[in-house]
Each structure stands twice: as C-alpha cells, then as structure tokens.
Amino acid sequence: MTRCGIGYDAHRLVAGRKLVLGGVEIPHSLGLEGHSDADVLSHAIADALLGAIGERDIGHHFPNTDESIRGISSIAILERVAEVLRRHGAELVNVDATLIAEAPKIAPHIPAMREKISSALQLAPERISIKATTNEGLGTIGRGEGMCAMAVASVEQP
Ligand code: MG
C-alpha cells in the first residue's frame, strides 16, 4: 500500500535566536522562536512522515512541555520519526517540502539541507525535494514576522 501524509508548520521570527532550516544554520539577523531549534521546515516534514503512517503529529511525539527535549535539534526529531516509520514497517518513498519566507535567500542552502535531511531519514537526496518561495509581501509571513513550511511525504507499507 502507498500512503501519503501532509505537514504544515509556522514559527515566529525573533531577535537573538539562530536560524536553522532543514538542519542548516543560516546567517540572518533573526531566528525562529520555539521549544526546539524551531526548524519549521524539518517540523513540517516530520508531520508529513507521521501523517503518512497515521501516527498523530510532532506535538504528540515531542510535546513542548517535555523539558528533556528543550532545544532539541530538529534533525534529531527527523531521525526519531524515521525510527517510528521503520517500527511500522513503512519504507519512505519521497518527501517534497516548500518553505515560505521573505528573507534571507534560501536557494544557496538547499543542497546542504537535502544532505542533512537525507542522512537523518536514511533516504537518498534525489528523493527529497526542498523548495522555497516568498509570500510576495502579503500578510504576516510577507511582513517577515515569521516563516511557514508545507510538506508531503509518501511511504510504502505492506
Ligand atoms: Mg514547529
């Protein structure tokens, strides 16, 4: 059986935080606020993966009330989610994700993000698509108050 999952996440941009997207630290004046490293792209992918096997969501598996995971790297979250998939006998087919952010320029960092996500998920980089777009200045994302990301994932499950 082929199954697919969808994921969405959003985080607020604030001063004094590192900006981590797809496991890659990107130089920027602002960073995303959150309990973990707030890697919005990895979070959307994690939710898509969990959704594909009907295993609830990232908030269930990694609650922001759990002090033991404060500041957890989202690449570590992806590694743990990949383990959950393996336990369910699900084999990853592909991941496609879009980051929506006004700044900074994301394109130069996409190859490094693919590599990071590839090794976290043990999935060939060719099966991982990372895209980025702006919101054309529209709304809160367009004003640069935050970033959001969407992802889909498909898996084969016997
Ligand atoms: Mg999140």
pLDDT at 132: 98
Of 3.30.1330.50, 3.30.70.2860, 3.90.1150.10, 3.50.50.60, the CATH number of 2-156 is 3.30.1330.50
Task: Compute, in angstroms, the gap from residue 86 CA to the centroid of ligand 1.
Answer: 23
Task: Compute, in angstroms, the gap from residue 37 CA to the centroid of ligand 1.
Answer: 9
| pTM listed for this prediction | 0.97
Task: Compute, in angstroms, the gap from residue 9 CA to the centroid of ligand 1.
Answer: 5
pLDDT range class, residue 28, cuts 50, 70, 90:
very high
Residue 10 CB neighbours (<10 A): 17
Q: Is residue 39's pLDDT more than 90? A: yes
Task: Compute, in angstroms, the gap from residue 51 CA to the centroid of ligand 1.
Answer: 15
Where along the chain do its domains lie?
2-156
pLDDT tens sequence across 42-93:
999 999 999 999 999 999 999 889 888 888 899 999 999 999 999 999 999 9
pLDDT tens sequence across 141-152:
999 999 999 999
